[in-house]
């Protein structure tokens, strides 16, 4: 058993997730609802761990990445990060719409006639661009505003890079970069430890389906 766990812990993250999803389908078919209820806390714990690590991973990784690049390429890195995030979000929306069209979720459900709901306003392009700049850094972290977090990481990362290149603030910038680099290493170490939960966590999430 120890040998199997050692091989699993050394496998890639994609392979671990695939193994967990396959095991989830098998265990779900064999054990049914009782097994799903028993493993429910593990899936909830995985979601909490992922949410717990989102902010430090994005913040410290981007700040370190900007400071490990050349001065002229810092802006290009920021543009690529925003472009990748927007492209991946658009892809996720298209996949969601496609799945909703194919499987028509919610069909057959009946809503009470007196039930009412409000549709949120669709912000314009200008408002969407303005929302990239958070009016409150702490609020962006609490609300998991990813564009705001990315913007914050890039702005502070570029400012730190300028400090390290400044003749008067170089020593201070280098010390601060050392702290950020250490925090990034600690965050990645915590994430590596959390990877041991991925098997049971994704197993539970696949049982939910």
Q: Report all structural domains of the chain as residue ranges with CATH numbers, in order of start.
A: 12-103+123-208 (1.10.3860.10)
> What pLDDT does 188 receive?
87
Q: Look at the pTM and tell me if it is higher than 0.75.
A: no
Average confidence (pLDDT) per 10 residues, the chain, 209 residues: 67 69 69 67 75 89 85 63 70 73 61 60 68 86 88 91 90 94 92 67 54
| Helices H / strands E in the chain, number of each | 10, 0
**Residue 60 CB contacts under 8 Å (≥ 6 apart), including other chains:** 153, 180, 183, 184, 187
> What pLDDT does 29 receive?
67
- CB–CB of 151/132 below 8 Å? yes
Q: Where does residue 26 fall: left (phi above 0), alpha (psi -120 to 50 degrees), or beta otherwise?
A: alpha
> What pLDDT does 181 receive?
94
> What pLDDT does 206 receive?
52
Q: Among 183, 194, 186, 191, which residue's Cα sits nearest to residue 63?
A: 183
Rounded CA separation 87/81 (Å): 10
- DSSP 8-state secondary structure symbol assigned to residue 134: -
Place of tokens 């958070």: 134
Rounded CA separation 62/84 (Å): 13
What's the token pair of residue 32?
A: 């049914």
> What pLDDT does 184 receive?
93
> What pLDDT does 117 receive?
60
């Amino acid at each position: 058993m120890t040998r199997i766990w050692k091989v699993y812990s050394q496998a890639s993250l994609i392979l671990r997730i695939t193994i967990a999803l396959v095991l989830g389908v098998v265990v779900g078919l064999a054990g049914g609802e009782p097994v799903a209820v028993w493993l429910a806390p593990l899936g909830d714990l995985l979601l909490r761990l992922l949410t717990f690590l989102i902010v430090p991973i994005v913040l410290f990784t981007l700040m370190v990445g900007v400071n490990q690049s050349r001065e002229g390429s810092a802006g290009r890195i920021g543009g690529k990060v925003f472009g990748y995030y927007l492209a991946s979000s658009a892809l996720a929306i298209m996949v969601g719409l496609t799945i909703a069209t194919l499987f028509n979720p919610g069909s057959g459900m009946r809503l009470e006639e007196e039930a009412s709901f409000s549709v949120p306003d669709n912000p314009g392009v200008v408002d969407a661009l303005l929302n990239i700049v958070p009016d409150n850094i702490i609020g962006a972290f609490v609300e998991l505003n990813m564009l705001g977090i990315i913007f914050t990481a890039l702005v502070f990362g570029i400012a730190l890079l300028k400090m390290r290149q400044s003749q008067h603030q170089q020593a201070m910038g280098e010390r601060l970069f050392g702290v950020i680099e250490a925090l990034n290493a600690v965050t990645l170490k915590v994430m590596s430890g959390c990877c041991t939960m991925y098997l049971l966590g994704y197993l539970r999430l696949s049982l939910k389906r």
